[in-house]
Amino acid sequence: MRVGIVGATGAVGQEILKVLEKRQFPVTELRLYASARSAGKTLWFRGQALTVEPLPETPLPVDLVLASAGGSISKQYAPIWARQSVVIDNSSAFRYEPGVPLVVPEVNAHALKQHQNIIANPNCTTAILVMALYPLHKAFRARRVIVSTYQSASGAGASGIEELLQGTRRFLAGEAVEHRVFAHPLPFNVIPHIDAFQENGYTREEMKVLWETQKIIGDPSIRLSCTAVRVPTLRVHAEAVTVEFERPVSPEEAREVLRRAPGVEVVDDPAEKRYPLPISASGKFEVEVGRIRRSLVFDNGLDFFIAGDQLLKGAALNAVQIAELLLEPVPR
C-alpha cells in the first residue's frame, strides 16, 4: 500500500511511523506531510531517510492517508483526500457523522464494512476505556458508567509534552512557569479542564467519551458520565472506572473475562504493588487493567483502574490496526 501520513512530525504522526515499522505493515511507498514549517525535515522509516513535504491542497498520491494534523485540517482536506484514498482520521472532525465508522478493531471491526473512504479513529480516552469496558459489557451488560481520567500531556500533542517538560525545568529552577497549551501551568498541578466547556457544564472531552462509547459499542442505552483531568505525566492516560452491570459479577469473573480480552493485560496484584501505571504502560500496545474490586455503591458493580498509552492504543496503534483490517478481503 502507498501510505501518506499527514501530521508526520507530530506526537501521533511519529508514533504512526514506528508502529507501521514494528508491525511490518506492507508499505510500498511512504509520503510524509506536515505544515510548511517542517517541509524539508528528515524522518526515518525502515532505515531510510524521508523528506517531509508541505501538505498540498490536492488529493494525495497514496492509497491510504493516516491523518493526525488536527480537526480543522481534516475537516478541510479529508473529503478531498477521500476522492482517491481511504482516510483514517485521528481527529474528531467526522467521528459523529452517521456514514463514518468509528472503530476500535477489538470492539467493532464489523463497522468498517460501511465505510465511504473516511474512517474515524476514536478519542484516546474512549479507545482505552472501551478496551476494558466492552468485554465486560458483553459478559455482564454495562448499564451505568462513571469515569474519572488522569490524562497525560501527550494528549495535547508534541507542544503539550514540550510545555510540561519546559515548565517542570522552570519550576525546579524557581522561575515562573508559562503556559499556552494548557489552561493553567501543568507541572505539579492537575487541571479539570480538557477541551471547551459545554452548556451542560461538562467539557467536550468528557462528552466525547459518552458519545463515542455509545457509537463504538453500538448501545445508546449505556449511560456514562466523565470527569476529564489533565495530570503532569508525559504519555499514557489512566482512568478510574465504576460500572454498574445488569448481571451479577464478581471481581474474579471480571478478571477472567479481561484475561481473555485481546489487547488487554490484567495487572492486578495489589499485595505485590502490581496495578496499572503510566510508567509501565508507556510504549506498550496492551491496555493495563487492575484494581478490580466490587463496588461499594452499586449492586452488580465494579470499580477498576486502567492505564493505556494514549499515543499508541489511544491513537497510532489503533489507526494502524484499522489499516490492517483494510488489507483483509471483505467477507461476502
> Rounded distance, CA 261 to CA 137, Å?
12
Phi-psi region of 93 (alpha: psi -120 to 50; beta: other; left: phi over 0): alpha
Q: Can 237 be counted among the known catalytic residues?
A: yes
x-or-dash string of contact with ligand A2P, 147-186, rule CB under 6 A:
----------xxx---------------------------
**Is residue 69 involved in binding ligand A2P (CB under 6 A)?**
yes
Nearer to ligand A2P, 153 or 257 (CB): 153
Nearer to ligand A2P, 43 or 258 (CB): 43
Is residue 241 within 8 Å of 161, Cβ to Cβ? Answer: no
x-or-dash string of contact with ligand A2P, 98-117, rule CB under 6 A:
--------------------
Q: Can 193 be counted among the known catalytic residues?
A: no
To the nearest whole angstrom, how small is the minimum distance from the Cβ of residue 34 to ligand A2P? Answer: 3
Place of cell 464494512: 113
Catalytic residue among 115, 124, 137, 226: 124
Q: Measure Cα distances from 117 to 64, 98, 156, 298, 324 in Å.
A: 9, 13, 27, 43, 15
> Rounded distance, CA 31 to CA 261, Å?
35
Nearer to ligand A2P, 26 or 40 (CB): 40
Candidate ranges 6-14, 42-50, 101-109, 297-305; the one touching ligand A2P (CB under 6 A) = 6-14
DSSP assignments along 59-75, one per residue: --SSSEEEE-S-HHHHH
**Is residue 189 involved in binding ligand A2P (CB under 6 A)?**
no
Helical H segments across the chain, by residue range:
11-22, 71-81, 105-108, 124-140, 158-172, 204-217, 251-260, 278-281, 317-327
> Rounded distance, CA 212 to CA 20, Å?
25
x-or-dash string of contact with ligand A2P, 9-48, rule CB under 6 A:
xxxxx--------------------xx-xx----------
> Rounded distance, CA 329 to CA 291, Å?
40
**Is residue 123 involved in binding ligand A2P (CB under 6 A)?**
no
- Find the binder of ligand A2P among 4, 7, 185, 314 (CB under 6 A): 7
Catalytic residue annotation: 124, 237
Q: Tell me which residues touch ligand A2P (CB under 6 A).
A: 7-13, 34-35, 37-38, 55, 69-70, 73, 157-159
